[in-house]
Amino acid sequence: MEKKTINCEVCENHCRMEAEVEDGEVVDVAGNGCMKGYIYAQTAVADAPD
């Protein structure tokens, strides 16, 4: 399992999140202040180059 650090850009909180990624998919997100951050993490990981 890989961990990626992501800075959320959705709202003014700019949460620093840690996403656990397995086989290219987000399994869990820590540090998000809201569900928007969780969704952002999934999108950011999917759009990130390997």
Give per-residue pLDDT as tens, 15-43.
999 999 999 899 999 999 999 999 999 99
Overall number of domains in the chain: 1
The mean pLDDT of 39-49, rounded to a whole number, is 88
- Domain range enclosing 16: 2-47
- CA-to-CA separations, 25 to 5, 12, 33, in angstroms, rounded: 14, 26, 20
Residues 17/4, Cβ–Cβ less than 8 Å: no
What is the structure's pLDDT at 10? 93
Q: What pLDDT shows up at residue 50?
A: 65
CB under 8 Å to 5, separation ≥6 — which residues?
A: 16, 17, 18, 19
